[in-house]
Amino acid sequence: MVEIDVKNLIDNGPEKLVMAINNAINSERTKEAFEITKVLRTFIFDSPLKAEISISKSGSPVSKISGTVKWIGDRRDGKKGIEIFLDSRENQKPFIIGIDNLESAKFNSEKRLLLISQVPLVCPVCKGIIKPGDVKIKCPACGVVAHKDHFLEYLKIHGTCPSCGKRLSTKSKK
């Protein structure tokens, strides 16, 4: 099988996902061994693994980022799921991307490519789509996600969350 569905694995953390990727690649029976180093619960890919992370609205992609996966680990924000350290062509520096709002996730073992599609999140300030790699912030009261710059700018002017209207202290934000 060339393409496997890994959507249900992502929310369970890195372990099962990486195992599925590894098994799928090994079933291709290529001569080259696929090398992964495990450090605590972070999996470092010593062999190339590519990822394409897109955001699609009614089936058509509105934003896409692709690159080489350096590691996959647990999320550090306490949420279930994974974080991917991606060295992308679009961004100059590798960056960490937390995977959520999953629409679909597939792994193509022949291409060694992880295909992730996310449901778009709309910034409550600028009404634009929050793209992968954008710096985000979450309202501590309602949990709405916004562009960090836009949220903090709004907070500076209005003193409230743009979504729930709750008064928030700017001091608690970094």
* Closer residue to Zn ion (CB): 1 or 172: 172
Q: Which of 122, 141, 152, 153 is close enough to bind Zn ion by CB under 5 A?
A: 141
Pairing of strands 121-122, 145-147: unpaired
- Closest alpha carbon to 57 in 121, 144, 132, 107: 121
* Residue 164 is a binding residue for Zn ion (CB under 5 A): yes
Specify the residue for token string 């729930």: 164
* Residue 121 is a binding residue for Zn ion (CB under 5 A): no
Q: Which two tokens stand for residue 3?
A: 């393409």
* Residue 147 is a binding residue for Zn ion (CB under 5 A): yes
Q: Which of 142, 156, 167, 173 is close enough to bind Zn ion by CB under 5 A?
A: 142
* Residue 125 is a binding residue for Zn ion (CB under 5 A): yes
Region from 10-18, 44-52, 66-74, 162-170 binding Zn ion, contact rule CB under 5 A: 162-170
Name every residue whose Cβ is closer than 8 Å to that of residue 92 and which is 6 or more positions away in sequence: none
The distance from CA 135 to its chain's CA centroid, rounded to whole angstroms, is: 12
Q: Which of 49, 99, 105, 123 is close enough to bind Zn ion by CB under 5 A?
A: 123
Q: What are phi and psi of 81, to 5 degrees?
A: 120, -155
Q: Give the residues lining the site for Zn ion (CB under 5 A).
A: 123, 125-126, 139, 141-142, 144, 147, 150, 161, 163-164
